[in-house]
Amino acid sequence: MAFKLEELLICCLSRKLHKKRHIAIGAASPIPAGAAFMAREEANKGMHITLLASQKHNHFTDGSRELFDAAAQGRIDAFFLGGVQIDGQANINLIGTGEYPNTQRRFPGSFGSALMYYVVPSVFLFRLQHNRRSMVEAVDFISAPGFSPPEVYRPGGPVALITDKCLFAVDSEKQRFRLESLHPNVSLEEVIDLTGFAFDYEENPPTTETPTSSQLDLLRGTIAQEIAESYPLFAKQTFGI
Amino acid sequence: MAFKLEELLICCLSRKLHKKRHIAIGAASPIPAGAAFMAREEANKGMHITLLASQKHNHFTDGSRELFDAAAQGRIDAFFLGGVQIDGQANINLIGTGEYPNTQRRFPGSFGSALMYYVVPSVFLFRLQHNRRSMVEAVDFISAPGFSPPEVYRPGGPVALITDKCLFAVDSEKQRFRLESLHPNVSLEEVIDLTGFAFDYEENPPTTETPTSSQLDLLRGTIAQEIAESYPLFAKQTFGI
Amino acid sequence: MSLHECSIQEIADEVQNGTLLGVPADYSGVPMAFVRELIRQGKSELDLFCLPQSTLQADMLIGAGCVRSVETAAVTLGEYGQAPCFTRFVQEGRLNVKDSTCPALHAALQATERAVPFSPLRGLIGSDLVKHRPDWQVISNPFSDQEDPVILIPAVSPDVTVIHAQKADKNGNVWIGRRKEVATLIHASKRNFVTVEEIVDTDFYEDEVLAAGVLPGFYIEAIAVAKDGAWPLALSDRYPIDEAHLKDYATRAKTEEGFATYLAENLAA
Amino acid sequence: MSLHECSIQEIADEVQNGTLLGVPADYSGVPMAFVRELIRQGKSELDLFCLPQSTLQADMLIGAGCVRSVETAAVTLGEYGQAPCFTRFVQEGRLNVKDSTCPALHAALQATERAVPFSPLRGLIGSDLVKHRPDWQVISNPFSDQEDPVILIPAVSPDVTVIHAQKADKNGNVWIGRRKEVATLIHASKRNFVTVEEIVDTDFYEDEVLAAGVLPGFYIEAIAVAKDGAWPLALSDRYPIDEAHLKDYATRAKTEEGFATYLAENLAA
């Protein structure tokens, strides 16, 4: 059964979320949202999903600080962070490129990354334009560091990086990425070529598990409807609804 | 027109409150509550009165910490504190008598005094049993000190002490009490005799201003009704309603 | 999000001897049915953390011998007089009281709420409370170029908190209204249980007006229905305090014997 | 407690050049009618403090030359793309951005809310944000016997905060619902004004369900009625965002000229 890249990514991310109790998703993140809905449907009906962009799927009642407080308390199991740039040490840059503060290309800002990245046990990095401008050797500005020295309070951190080309796992010991799988029709050479940082890999990396037809049915049915409530434009483009 | 001691105290305290914008009153304080209602009626209809014991007269919506926060922000102009013991340096003891922690006579505890006394600009002390057990040279336990050294953050503090015998003003320079007026039919000798601490006084102290008949009318009418809502027992005993 | 319903007994089962138990103020919904069950189960060596004070909950647990220590701004029956068991136990040297002041109790939980090791606080310096609290520290304000002592209150995290509320919804959310400090107590506690008058068959979030007073269900492990669960204390907007009962308690609990017969009568139910 | 009604012009009159202005997030009620009035009055050298980010409010004020600095976790039009004036001004070196992160902005106001000089916070250490914030300090946790750096965020108190809300009551109380962070912004600000869709002839406190979402009137100096006062942004439960308008803005404001004609058209009304 044919599928779109977005569908592959949702199913791929979803498998990582099966055991989570509470997943929080920031603004403009339809793929993580889809993955969370999918995981809840497939693996854990009791899972709690917070979409910060939604009113319906946001149950916080103590203002927006409650997300950060709840995360600091260890009550949020998984969160997702993008990055204008991501480097080989999993540092993320949400500020812009060039020398700060007079950045050449300025982006919105660091949002809550400088706490969330430290305290949420499973942070998934995502970046859908995998190229040497986004996957860099060293970010121009560290909005939040990938790893911290042992004296720094850090119960959380990165566990994976998903792009439009592949999935990286995080090796916390070595503090670097390890290629976990290549998306269909992507070669190892291509990923090496598009990636500005060094990473570990096997000679013949596996291919990212593709969605089954029952997964696609679920995704295009129930899940697409759930996604559409918060991300109508994405749902229209991806699922035609 | 004859009046009760409670009526005298309410009218006496009320005069000190005319210019306040927001007065907060803790639990079990019907006389301060009456004084605040009286001041609002006589001097400032826009005055805000918070009775912590009431639901109707308590507009905080951020839990009980909002009182302490609002006070620390300088938004509460006047507050009232009692004391098992009060000493000549305006230290108050709400814990008990004897050597702490194995107090001989244990009282409930310090409540919020250890912040409120520091941050509310006008704190009125009140104690209706004026005797040498309550008005002591030095309290057995300082729940909150009357004065603080200059390096301690202290925008607030005591301005007066009212008892069933007299009214003391606070001399912040000398850090001691000054007799402001004797209640009717109380002599200076009696107050000196009943007070365990030294205080300043004139040879012929004035008598506490007595309620006018129009004040008593107001008090026994509108104000008594207001008081009765939160302090039915007190209102019954004092105003027979 | 989903509702986990349980019994009061099951909640009490989760309270081990030695637990640091979060205790709400009277206006926040006191789980008295649960308190009686704790006494029935013969708990001991409980440490109580009151936000910021307690009346009958602390007093009965103390009188029944369940309590090792209590951290609080006050224990009192308010208009009904002094808390008789608390007073007696302290005067007899049988209770460890960690005397505090309301904002310090809030500050300790707010620190845990944000997972920071301490909260700074104004006031307090020069109070004898500080002398007896070696767990508090005074530092010099690092943002001031003048001498400026600031007290730091370390974070406290109750092991278990139980509150009583008017209602829960079908998805396990609890309506607490504007008495928001119980939310802080819940946020700061490792495990939370709630007793409620009723579980209603709606979702509070369907109505944004109701939602403003909701404690989200994901903080709560399980919910037990306990009709009149705050009795003999009041539950805001539902029922008033049982005045006759409180007066009777205030008198009888003044002696060990009086308290024992009070307990015998009131635990049987 | 009493209602002080005023006009939007009168609120804007109270904002002096050089004011530190509190800026609410989009979901909290953005006072766009007031923002247009600020631009009409030609304010300059405003410092913005966003809780914790801003969209159109900061972007328009920046584009109109009203802003000297902005402290924020982000300025963005969200789904409508980057904030065009913010981006242009930063890239041209014409705007002082005090880059922060959401919880640090909350922490700064929570410190003021409790009148303490700072709030401790986790995270942040190792972020380049810290390098560029000499006003933040790292101390060693005095409660730990191991090395444990903790960042301290100093208290911030906006001079003036203005928010837009659905309704006020006859006594000047404002209903804000569950987006409680504006309460913190208001608590921490020296002066507060509110614009509302309507003033209703009741008292919100007569209904405990409504009361749970109320900002008490005693924090608020005056209230102005501004129908559709958040337009073209959304106001929760009242009206959605004006998508066509935002798209148009996102395109036109990319150039100085486009922004100028946008302003000319939209300030006239």
- A5-52 residue pLDDT tens: 999 999 999 999 999 999 999 877 899 999 999 999 999 898 999 998
User: What residues have CB less than 8 Å from D263, skipping those under 6 apart?
Assistant: D39, D60, D63, D64
The mean pLDDT value for B154-173 works out to 98
C-beta separation of A153 from A160 below 8 A: no
CATH of the domain at A32: 3.40.1080.10
pLDDT value of residue A156 = 98
pLDDT of residue B233: 81
- Report pLDDT for C237: 84
Ranges of residues in chain D with a pLDDT under 50 are none
Give the start-to-end residue ranges of the domains of chain D.
8-117+155-268, 118-154
Beta strands B166-171 and B176-182 are antiparallel
| Cross-chain CB nearest to A72 (options D27, D78, D122) | D122
- Per-residue pLDDT at C227 exceeds 90: yes
Whether A241 maps to a domain, the answer reads no
From B92-101, B231-240, C71-80, C122-131, the region with the lowest mean pLDDT: B231-240
Q: What is the predicted pLDDT for the residue at D269?
A: 58
Residue D243 in tokens: 């998508």
pLDDT tens-digit profile of C187-219? 999 999 999 999 999 999 999 999 999 999 999
Q: What is the mean pLDDT of residues C127-155?
A: 97
| 8 Å CB contact between D267 and D41 | no
- CB A59 to CB C183 under 8 A? no
B233 with C79: Cβ contact below 8 A: yes
Is B225 part of any domain?
yes
Burial of residue C118 (CB within 10 Å: 0-12, 13-18, 19+) is buried
CB contact under 8 A, D142 and C137: yes
Phi, psi of C126 (to 5 degrees): 100, -10
Instruction: Calculate the CA dihedral of residues B213, B219, B225, B229 and round it to 10 degrees.
Output: -160
Q: How many CB atoms lie under 10 A from the CB of residue D263?
A: 18
- Give me chain B's average pLDDT, please: 95
Give the mean pLDDT of A64-87. 97
Given pLDDT bands bounded at 50, 70 and 90, which one contains residue C1? Answer: low
How many other CB atoms are there within 10 angstroms of residue C227's CB atom?
10
Closest to D72 (Cα-Cα) out of A150, C73, A46, A111: A111
Compute the half-sphere exposure of residue D89: CA atoms within 13 Å on the CB side of its CA. 25
Strands C20-24 and C46-51: parallel
Instruction: Please tell me the number of Cα atoms within 13 Å of C181 on its side-chain side.
Output: 27
Reported ipTM: 0.96
In angstroms, the CA C260 to CA A52 distance is: 53
Mutate to test the interface with C, among A48, A58, A59 (most CBs of C within 10 A): A59
Statement: residue C269 has pLDDT above 70: no
Q: Which of B143, B43, B51, B47 is nearest to B93 (CA)?
A: B143
Residue B240 lies in a domain: no
Q: What is the pLDDT of residue C56?
A: 98
Q: Which chains have 3+ CB pairs within 8 A of C?
A: A, B, D
CA distance B104 to chain C (A): 6
Alpha helix segments (H runs only) across chain B: 5-15, 30-43, 65-72, 113-119, 188-194, 213-218, 224-230, 232-239
Q: Residue D192 pairs with which residues in a beta bridge?
A: D161
The distance between the two most distant Cα atoms of chain C, rounded to a whole number of Å, is: 63
DSSP strands (E only) in D82-154: 96-99, 118-121, 137-140, 149-154
Q: Do B61 and D2 touch (CB under 8 A)?
A: no
Q: What's the CA gap between A230 and A30, in Å, rounded?
A: 8
**Residue B147 sits in which domain range?**
5-235
Question: Which pair of structure tokens corresponds to residue B146?
Answer: 């009357």
**Residue with tokens 């037809």, as numbered in its chain:** A213
Residue in chain B nearest C236 by alpha carbon: B55
- For chain B, the chains sharing at least 3 beta-carbon pairs closer than 8 angstroms are C, D
Q: What is the pLDDT of residue C28?
A: 86
Rg (CA), chain A: 17
The CATH number of domain D8-117+155-268 is 3.40.1080.10: yes
C197: phi then psi, degrees, rounded to nearest 5: -65, -40
pLDDT at A199 over 80: yes
Whether B241 maps to a domain, the answer reads: no
From the list A200, A128, A136, the residue with the least C-alpha distance to A166 is A128
- In the predicted model, what is the mean pLDDT of residues A134-138? 98
Which chains pack against A, by 3+ Cβ pairs within 8 A?
C, D
Hey, is the C-beta of A141 within 8 angstroms of any chain D C-beta?
yes
Task: Return the structure tokens found at A174.
Answer: 């070595």
Mean pLDDT is lowest, of A125-129, B26-30, C58-62, D213-217, for B26-30
CA–CA distance, D49 with D26 (Å, rounded to integer): 14
Cα separation values, D223 from C1, D51, D169, Å: 39, 21, 10
Residue B132 dihedral angles phi and psi, to the nearest 5°: -75, -10
**DSSP string covering B18-61, please?**
TT-SEEEE-TT-HHHHHHHHHHHHHH-TT-EEEETT-STT----
In sequence order, what DSSP letters do the residues of A78-126 get, joined into one string?
Answer: EEEE--SEEETT--EE-SEESSSSS-SEE-S--TTHHHHHHH-SEEEEE
**Smallest Cα–Cα separation from C151: which of C188, C107, C181?**
C107
The SS3 of residue D174 is strand
User: What pLDDT shows up at residue D35?
Assistant: 98
pTM: 0.97
- pLDDT at residue B161 is higher than 80: yes
Measured between beta carbons, which residues in chain B are less than 8 angstroms from residue D213?
Answer: 61
In a domain, residue B129? The reply is yes
- Mean pLDDT, chain A, as a whole number? 95
φ/ψ of residue D36, rounded to 5:
-65, -35
